[in-house]
A and B are shown apart, each in its own frame.
Chain A
Amino acid sequence: MNRNEKKTGMRLTINSSTDRLREVRDFVSDRARDAGFRDEVVHTIALCCDEACTNVIKHAYANAPDREIDIRIIPRRDEMEIVITHDGESFDPDTIKSPDMKEYLSHYRKGGLGLHLIRSLMDKVFYKQGNGSRYEVHLVKFHSSP
């Protein structure tokens, strides 16, 4: 495998349709497994990428299915970083508070659970303005996390 192929193997570009979510999960799971994460953590990472892509489709692209989402994996010695890039509407998840789940459930509230899951399960989550009008969601999992 040459350098270029290897680089391509760490990147997946999909259109913004929910029928591509399984592909995202499979792609991220394979890379996480290759990086040495155990099964439970592989599932966690794939779930968080699914949630992040779902949020992009729903909120950044308002369910338009023909936009682009780029998923890039950066494996490092101590961690794996996943960068999800889109050029839709920016939304600042830092302004969204995680719900108090007891209160949430007792009032039968709906929605907003994806971000809560991501924050609970990943070791680092941050958002950055990318090139031009592109926005990046960064998810990081440490190899040392339980």
Chain B
Amino acid sequence: MSTFKIEHRENNAINVLDLKGYLDAHTAPELEKTFQSLIDTNRFRIIVNCRDLTYISSAGLGVFMAYIEDVRRNQGDIKLSNMSPKVFNVFDLLGFPLLYEITPDEADAVKKFQETGKPPKAGK
């Protein structure tokens, strides 16, 4: 039985990935594959909706680090939304809110893309 699932849809011409279940070293390659296929098809405006993400380990966080540079180099961004406190704490502990826009709702992330599309810079 798979413990992790990704669904891809569009919202206002922005690619939304709905993550469900457990993102760890075993399931992280599935997310890698999905990011890679978005990049290969020039889709760089990405929202990751974490509403149904139950768990994340550093292997999952590593996937976001692996693709953010490529995505931003192409004027896109990876924004994250709808995190549970448990999942947010792991991101927060590692300082990821410095580099990634994390919004309470998907609609806020869409709005941010529509406003500027510019990602925040780490360390500023």
Binding site for B on A (CB under 8 A): 18-19, 21-22, 25, 40, 43, 47, 50-51, 54, 57-58, 101-106, 108-111, 113-114, 116-117, 120-121
Contact = CB atoms under 8 A, between A and B. Distances in A.
B74 to A, nearest CB: 14
A18 B93 contact: no
Nearest to B86: A43
A40 B95 CA distance: 19
A63 to B, nearest CB: 10
Given A110-B65, A110-B66, A111-B62, 17 more contacts: A22-B22, A22-B24, A22-B26, A47-B57, A54-B24, A54-B58, A57-B25, A101-B94, A102-B98, A102-B122, A105-B99, A105-B122, A108-B69, A109-B65, A113-B62, A116-B58, A117-B57
14 contacts: A21-B26, A47-B55, A50-B57, A51-B58, A54-B57, A57-B25, A101-B95, A102-B95, A102-B98, A105-B99, A106-B122, A110-B62, A116-B58, A117-B94
